[in-house]
Structure formats: C-alpha cells, structure tokens
Amino acid sequence: MTKIAAIWARVSSMGQAEMSPEGQIERVRNKLESLGYVIPPEYIIKVIWTSTDLEPCLEYQELKRLIRTNQINAVGFLDRDRLSATRLTRAMFFSECKQNEVIPIVFQGPPFIEGIEGELIEYVLTMGKEIANIRAQTGAKQGLEDRARKMGLPPTIAKVYGMTWPKGADGKYKPNGKYLPDEDYAHAKLIFDLWFEKHNLDYIGKELLRRGIPSARGKMTWASCSLTTILKNPIYSGRVATLKYERLVPKKRRKNTFGKTCSHLKPESQWHYLEGLVTNPIINWEQHLGIIKRLLTNKENATRNAKHNYLLRGRIACQLCHGNRHYFGVQPSSGRAKYVCNKSWATGYMEKCLARPMDKGELEQGVKDKVRAFFAKPEVYLSEMNGRLGMQEQTKDDIECSIKNLDREYRETIDTECRYADMLSKEAFDEKKKLLVLRRQHSNDQKEQQVLKLANLEKVTVNRLTIETLNKRLQRNLDTASEDDWRFILDTLNATVLAFGDGSWDLAIDVPPMSENINITTASVTRLGTDSIVNNTG
C-alpha cells in the first residue's frame, strides 16, 4: 500500500533571513521519501504566516482537511517551530492526527513523542513560546510608554507641517531636540489666522490657492481633511500628543491577515501630552480647545449632513456602545421621524447595536423641557457639578495654602537626602533614600490632587457666572425660540443626551467657561437678546 504524506512549509515573512520554503520542501521531501512516503505536488503546502493564531489561515485549514479525510498518512515539518500555534490549536492538531492515524514527522530537532508524555511536552513548549511572544510585545509597548512618560520624549518623531525636528550628522533625529519652525511655518500660521478670521475651511482653502501656497504634499489645492488635521493638532499649541493609538486584534478579519492589524484611537483624556518640545507655538491651549469645539459644531450643524432638520443630531450618545456611537435622525417612508444608533443599522461584518429607536418629536420636546427646568433652577445643576467634581466646602486660599505646604515638604525631602548622602554609609543611605523617594512621590501625588481641586473650584465659579448670565438673557425667550435658537442654546450648554438603549434617556449639561463662547456669533444670539454675552467676553 502506498503511503502518502503532505509537507507543511511555513515562513514568517518574504524578507526574513531564514531558509526559503523551497529549501524546507527539499529537505523534508528527502526524509519522507527515505521513509517510504510519496508526496503529491498538490499536498505541498507553502504559507507565510506570523501569528500563533492559525485558525484563520486557509492553508492550515486545508492541511486539517487532508488529515480529517484520511488522504494522507503523515505530515512533514522542517522543525517544531513550523507548527507554532496557541496551546489549544496545537493540542487539537495532534489530537486529530492521532485520531486519523497521521504521523507528524520533523526533519531536524527532537521528534514528536507519542502518548501522554508527548502531549505534555508539546503543551509546555507551546506555553513557553506564548510567554516569550507576550513578553516581547509587552516590552515593546512598555518601551514606548517609558520614553514618553519617564523620559519626556515622543516615541516617534511625526512630520508636522510648518515644523521640523533637528537631525544629526548621521541623518537621524537628535534624541534631545525640539520642534523648530521650518520654511512652511509662516504658511501654517496663516492657516490659523484665516481660521480665526472666518472659521470656515472652504475660505481657508480658497485663500491659500489664491496666494499660490501648495499643500504639504505639493498640490495647489488643499483638501478640507488636511486643513482639519492641522487645526486639530495640539502641537501648534505647544503640546505634543503621544500614546494616542492602541493596537488591537480585529473582531472579524476582512482579509487574510494575522496579529494586531487594526488600531484604536484612544479618547483624548487618555493621551499623554509632552510640554516644552515646541519652540514657537502658533496658538495657546485655550485657543486649541476652542478650535476643536468649533470644528465639531460646524460638522454637526452643516446642512449637507441632514436632509431634514434634526435638532439633536450628533448630540445623542448611545450608552450601550459606551458613548462611542451617536444617534442620527431617520425619516421612514411611512410613520414619524426617529433617532437611531448608527450601529443599529450596521451592515456587513459589524455587530449591530440593540438600542431602541426614539421618537424625534417626543425626544426633542423632552430635551427642551429639561433645559427650561435647568434655567428655572440652575442651583440643582451646580450642586450636582460639585458632587461630580468631588468639591467640598473649601476656599481657594485653603487649597493654595495646602499646595505651598506640599511644595515645602517636597523640597525638604531633597535637602534631607543631600544631608544623608554625606553622613551615612552607602547601604544605610540606600535604605533612607527609598523612604524619601516614597515621601516625595506622596507629596507630589497630593499636590496634583490639590491642583485639580483648585481647577475644579475655578471651573464651578466660572460656570456659576456663565449660568447666571445665560439665565437672565435666555429664560424669557425660550417659548418663542426657533430651531436655530435652540441649537445655539444646546451648543452653549454643551448638552448631550445619554440614550440608555431601552427608550429612556437623560440630559448631561457641561457649561463651558465664558471665554470659550467668544467665537459664537450666530443670528440667533441677537434674537435671543444674548449679544451682550459675546460682547462682555471680549
């Protein structure tokens, strides 16, 4: 009876410095033939695969099909690493080989051992491989975080329009450099000047074209997305944003890929900002926050984004999607208009959200009623805000005094450490230094908490003044306000509808400081009698 064998020839990448698939095939073929096996050409399986997750690999599934259908009596490998996989996948593979009487044969290295001892050895080897991979991935990720958090340097040097990071004589970026203005710095500054003049991307693009200023890629026309990227980049306000992305394994692969092939943009609150790495910032941080808010407002209120007038478009956050998805308005061919989560209408590979749609008229009227109640009793909101920010009955002087005391304690630990260095032996000094470092860290942590409390106290104070001013100007006009007026009011209040998926909802209000309202100049301001709000903030 003719004995049939298959060959599994696997490499990690086309450019890796190891034996080619053809070299593997030749060596394994010679050994299998010396053992009396015949290898049909269609049973030679070549694959490029890095990940230990072999299940998505089509070639691996073909190999398992040959085993299950008893078309082969053996399968040959160059060595054990050619079958690098997860513990479960590897165990299932050998189990199927045993069940179908298929013998795994290796060309080099120790052979596969049959029985319970062999299964135990394979399990231990696979677990060791997994641990090594995890350590390598964790070490690389930790190295990037340490460079940003401990060394205060960007993990990678990004190209920035109008700025450059200096290079050394070897052509590599200097490790301790800073972003400096380059030949396009004046053009980048012009983009921000034009933004503050009109707050319109089309206007900026047309003006740059009229002046003959090419884009970052050398084109004469500027895409709106390119201008938005520049305007939203915090580096122009003097802060370098790092650790913004996180690599993830996709829930479902659309192509024959492996590993962490998708990235997730983390919330801005989780970004790590580096100070002092930009020599000539174009704007300040407050202006940067104002630009982000205005760009979002322009996007939400753009008439081209909606065929119908939906007051709450872009303002309804789906809590079943953890606030990462928003509702949008739809007008069924028959029936009333509704708001639906955009993930509930997902198609293709995306998993649908189970949030129920909400009636447009009922929801918008409910939001208006809650805003009226807010202006009638704003003290309720201020009380809730105090609780949310963890504020107690503390004054600004108390907090500032506490910060000074913590600064003094911090300096005392440094002075004490200097004295101990001259007085004690190295062993005794090392023990004392550990305690001093802990005390210094504790003082620093307490100071950060007090600084946050001071910022929250100032925020509450500013919000109280903002609400009182808005209350005087808006309350008496709400009954006659148009949809544009209501949109302006919701913008001013930073109002967000929290939709819980079962039809229930709540309204979150986060009134910004008055300084952030400087650029709100719509026709509805005058109709509502709020023109003095804008004028008084200048």
DSSP helix/strand/coil, 318: strand
How far apart are the C-alpha atoms of 344 and 155, rounded to whole Å?
38
d(CA 144, CA 146): 6
CA distance 496 to 296: 13
Residue 467's CB is within 10 A of a number of other CB atoms, namely: 20
CA 302 → CA 296, 306, 330, distances in Å? 10, 8, 16
The pLDDT of residue 364 = 92
How long, in residues, is the chain?
Answer: 538
Calpha distance 69→315 (Å, rounded)? 56
CATH 3.40.50.1390 at 3-137, yes or no: yes
Question: 72 and 45 in contact (C-beta within 8 Å)?
Answer: no
Stretch(es) of the chain classified as CATH 3.40.50.1390: 3-137
pLDDT of res. 99: 86
User: Are the beta carbons of 63 and 75 closer than 8 angstroms?
Assistant: yes
CB neighbours of residue 135 within 10 Å: 10
Distance set, CA 373 to CA 361, 368, 376, 478, 482 (Å) = 18, 9, 5, 11, 18
Q: Which residues of the chain have pLDDT under 50?
A: 16-18, 388-389, 513-538
pLDDT tens digits, one per residue of 74-119: 999 988 777 776 767 777 788 888 888 898 888 887 666 565 555 5
Number of helices followed by number of strands (H, E) in the chain: 15, 17
From-to residues of CATH 3.90.1750.20 in the chain? 163-301
Locate 198 and state its tokens.
């009109």
- Beta-sheet strands, E only, within 284-344: 316-318, 325-330, 338-341
Instruction: Identify the burial level of 528 via C-beta atoms within 10 angstroms of its C-beta, where 0-12 means exposed, 13-18 middle and 19 or more buried.
Output: buried
List all residues 6 or more positions away from 532 whose beta carbon is below 8 Å from its beta carbon.
Answer: 473
Could you tell me which residues come within 8 angstroms of residue 224 by beta carbon, excluding any fewer than 6 positions away?
201, 202, 205
Q: How far is CA 518 from the centre of its chain?
A: 30
Q: Where are the alpha helices (DSSP H) in 390-517?
A: 396-423, 426-474, 483-493
Give the residue carrying structure tokens 């109280």: 464
Integer Cα distance of 75 and 174 in angstroms:
52
SS3 519: coil
Centroid of chain to Cα 71: 48
DSSP 164: E
Strands (DSSP E) contained in 287-404 are 316-318, 325-330, 338-341, 358-359
Q: What is the pLDDT of residues 197-209, one digit of tens each?
A: 988 898 999 999 9
Q: Alpha carbon of 379 to those of 135, 386, 448, 477: distances in Å?
A: 53, 11, 28, 20
For the chain, what is the radius of gyration of the CA atoms? 32
* List of residues 6+ apart from 481 with CB closer than 8 A: 489, 524, 528
Angle at 126 between CA 123 and CA 131, to 5 degrees: 125
User: What CATH architecture does domain 163-301 belong to?
Assistant: Alpha-Beta Complex (3.90)
How wide is the angle at C-alpha 37 spanned by C-alphas 32 and 41, nearest 5°?
Answer: 85
- Strand 262-265 with 44-48, pairing: unpaired
CA dist 53 and 84 (Å) reads 9
Torsion angle of the four alpha carbons 107, 111, 112, 118, in this order, in degrees rounded to the nearest 10? -170
Q: Report d(CA 260, CA 141) in Å as an integer.
A: 13
The CA distances from residue 224 to 215, 287, 380, 442, in Å, are 11, 20, 42, 47
